[in-house]
Amino acid sequence: MPGSNPLLRVLLTCLVLLAAGRAPAVELPDFTTLVEQYAPAVVSVSARTAAKDAADEPDEDKPGKPPVQNPFEGTPFEEPFRRFFEQMPHGNSPRPRELPASIGSGFVISADGYVLTNAHVVEGADTVTVGLRDRTELIAKVIGADKRSDVALLKI
């Protein structure tokens, strides 16, 4: 198309590509039966790591460390930040017993209690808990994990 508008050429090309790329509508399958059949095998997996002993803590976290001072003291921002700095842990505050949980899902893959989940969910965990559909929680043992494929096998 010599001498034609380049914008018009781009628009026409886009229209041709859109028309050629249109696929007939496909009806989605009904997943109701699959969900009813396999939902009982789906479980929740949570992993916790215990806090380190006081001997493993750096000197700055040991008892006797003074509370953190509010750097906004004497400014209009003092009051909004007062509670924040009062709640910050310091040497005299109790230490958490466990670090936050890693949470994921898994599937019961055998009647004798093997569960498949993601390796990153249970990596480094001291305690792994599997939650069943009926809200029962069971302690699980990590049988093995593969970081590369991000798969872990648990036994409940």
Asked if the structure places residue 115 within a domain, the reply is yes
Domain boundary among 87, 111, 132: 87
> Which residue has better confidence, 41 or 67?
41
Mean pLDDT of 88-93: 55
Nearest to 61 by CA among 99, 88, 100, 101: 88
Quote the domain boundaries for residue 78. 55-87
**One domain, residues 81 and 145:** no
CATH for 36: 2.40.10.10
- Say how many domains are in the chain: 2
Looking up tokens 């008892």, which residue turns up?
63
**One domain, residues 47 and 62:** no
What is the pLDDT at residue 115?
96
**One domain, residues 46 and 64:** no
**One domain, residues 45 and 61:** no
Q: In angstroms, rounded to a whole number, what is the distance separating the alpha carbons of residues 35 and 32?
A: 5
What is the pLDDT at residue 144?
96
Asked if the structure places residue 6 within a domain, the reply is no
**One domain, residues 44 and 121:** yes
Cβ contacts of 102 within 8 Å, gap of 6 or more: 46, 47, 48, 120, 121, 122, 123, 125
Q: What is the average pLDDT value for the chain, to the nearest integer?
A: 78
**One domain, residues 114 and 127:** yes
Instruction: Reply yes or no on whether the pLDDT at 155 is more than 90.
Output: yes
